[in-house]
A and B are shown apart, each in its own frame.
Chain A
Amino acid sequence: MTASPKPTIGLLRDRRFKPDRDVEEWHGKYLPYDLVKEFLIALAVVVLLVVGLTVVFSSPDDQPVTVRSWSTAQPVDFAQTAITELDGSSGTAGYGPPYNQTPDASQSIGPFSPESWFGVHHPIDSANDYVVAPLLTLPNQPGLDAAISTYTSAPATQQASWTAAYEKAVADATFTRGALQVPSGRYGPVAPMISALTSMARSGALDGALISSRQFYGTDYTKPLLFMADGTYLANLGQAQHLQGPQWGMMNETGNYPGQAWLWLYTMWYQVPPMKTSSNADLQVWAIMMVLTLLLALVPFIPGLRSIPRWTRVYRIIWRRHYRDLNEEVDNTGPSPPAAAES
């Protein structure tokens, strides 16, 4: 078949016909099709469906966690987390960019490490931001001020000795009579500091201190969220709500509601090796998804990939009426059927 010598419209290009790239101009019938009516009917259907789902299921709204609720529910977990912030062993303290400079903390694939290239943009000094600075905002605490001064002016080795001892002891801590009970030991000023921080957190004052900024209005919750994420309380709540990574958490919603189901492929990559156990899993998964997204967008240009629709023949189902009409036409008029594109 060749091009019509006198096309009605469009740019003529004499080039080899590729069924996965080109089409023949339609010379068949046109039928009435009311697009506006179709849209209005679809809109009515969607509105009814959405209202029905809303009436039956509503939407989830689990209470947010605060530093106050965390430290009230699990003061020992809070204290255990706080000491890791002070001694620099917490997840946030060793996170690397964009929060701080930690050697070899950035994820990478070979020499490709965008995290380290962009550097620190939301600086967090965990010891100062989560412990020392909030404690300094407490008024009329001469004993605490002295303890903070002792700690901050001590050599790093001395600080490490105190915090290591406390971190080991706080694993056996209890919370009774409204106070943290830690087995006695040589913790220097660390014990009164963490005890005061726990009391401050339970009062709600630490929530405010962590989001304070130079402006009156604050909307950046980076510090409290990362602090809470360093503890086990938030993680346990997520686990109970089937939101953890191994539970395909990113695509789930609290309760039994559908979440971001469209993230299933992204979430799936975290469940398979090597990403499942890789320390560079996030970058690897994102790299895979970027490549797949690019492939999807560029399908029309990729030989082989763009032939899948023709090979799978699903189009035969979609246009079954069209092909049935063609077959009937052939039956009535004789040979030379416009067979499907099997080439």
Chain B
Amino acid sequence: MPADTEVAADSAADLPEDADQLTAKLRHAAVAALPPGRLMPDRQPAYVASWIYVFGVLTLSALAVVIVTGLVLAIFGPSWWHVSTVGLFVNSLHLWSVEVFFFAMVVHLWGKFFMAAWRGRRRATWITGVVSFVVSIGAAFTGYLSQQNFDSQWIATQAKDGINSTGAGAIFNVTNFGQMLMWHIILLPLVVVLLVGLHVLLVRLRGVVPPFAPPKGSTIETETVPSHEEIPTGDRP
């Protein structure tokens, strides 16, 4: 970096903040809602100690593999995997990562259900999780329709009746390969990634739901886990 630029940057850092700026307001709101210690905490409440918690991060990991293998398939085009051994390998990775993704997500979902993980102002976290699951089903479905083989032909001819019965077939034509491919590689993955991102941010914002506690008829506040800085010093490991 040129010396004069460094000087300019240092000078800018020393300038007083313009609190009326939308940029400054947005930054303040974001940092207030998710300070670094809460966004990426290095400790969790002691009750976060079960194998069931692993399935959330397994879902994220599988989604990462789904996206990376999908990107490789997208680079070479939809016909590549039918004629290339490497393409078939990548397609297989894509298929199996989707299977692992759904398995982990379903276990995660039912685990969170039995924890009643919506408690303590975590309802939006639950809803974004459920909607992510539903949209993921759509993403996988359009993937099956985009295979260009007998399976995709069969699924298209069978699924059209259900889609058409809802009226959605007017705009969502499962027998239109081009349309389904676009939904599969652009629209639905984008929505899934945005929803999952929002879901993870909400998890960080609200923290991991505490176990059921006793009080009947008590009045309490419904906020949740304090940020790192707010953890009493005596409780820190």
Contacts and interface: CB of A to CB of B under 8 A. Distances in A.
Interface stretch (B10-18, B19-27, B175-183, B185-193): B175-183
A243 B82 CA distance: 22
A23 B164 contact: no
A8 B219 CA distance: 16
B205 to A, nearest CB: 11
Nearest to A301: B123
A128 interface: no
Contacts of A259: 144, 151
Interface string B102-125: 100010000101111011101100
B2 interface: no
B230 A8 contact: yes
A39 B116 contact: no
A31 to B, nearest CB: 5
Interface in B183-237: 207, 209-227, 230-232, 235-237
Given A115-B164, A220-B175, A253-B151, A57 B92 contact: yes
Specify the main secondary structure of chain B where it touches its partner. Answer: helix
Given A225-B156, A237-B150, A17 B215 contact: yes
B167 interface: yes
B6 interface: no
Given A7-B223, A59-B92, A250-B155, A285 B118 contact: no
Contacts of A216: none
A296 interface: yes
Interface stretch (A45-53, A138-146, A172-180, A183-191): A45-53
B159 interface: yes
A13 interface: yes
Interface in A291-343: 293, 296-301, 306, 308-310, 312, 314-315, 318-323, 325, 338-343
Interface string A251-293: 0011001111111000000000000000010110110000001
A323 to B, nearest CB: 7
B127 to A, nearest CB: 5
B10 to A, nearest CB: 31
A59 B100 contact: no
B157 A228 contact: yes
Nearest to B207: A26
A2 interface: yes
Please classify how large the interface on chain A is, using the bins under 10, 10 to 19, 20 to 34, 35 or more: 35 or more
Contacts of B224: 10, 23, 25-26
A226 B176 CA distance: 11
Interface in B140-186: 140-141, 144, 147-159, 161-162, 164-171, 173, 175-179, 181
Contact of B119 (A23, A219, A245): A23
A19 B212 contact: yes
B149 A225 contact: no
B58, B92, B100, B157 interface centre (most CB from chain A within 10 Å): B92
Contacts of A46: 58, 61-62, 64-65, 97, 100
6 contacts: A16-B217, A23-B210, A31-B46, A59-B95, A97-B170, A286-B162
The list of the 5 closest CB pairs from A to B, nearest first, reads A10-B223, A219-B178, A114-B167, A23-B120, A300-B118
Given A38-B54, A220-B176, 7 more contacts: A32-B237, A46-B61, A225-B175, A309-B116, A322-B49, A339-B214, A341-B214
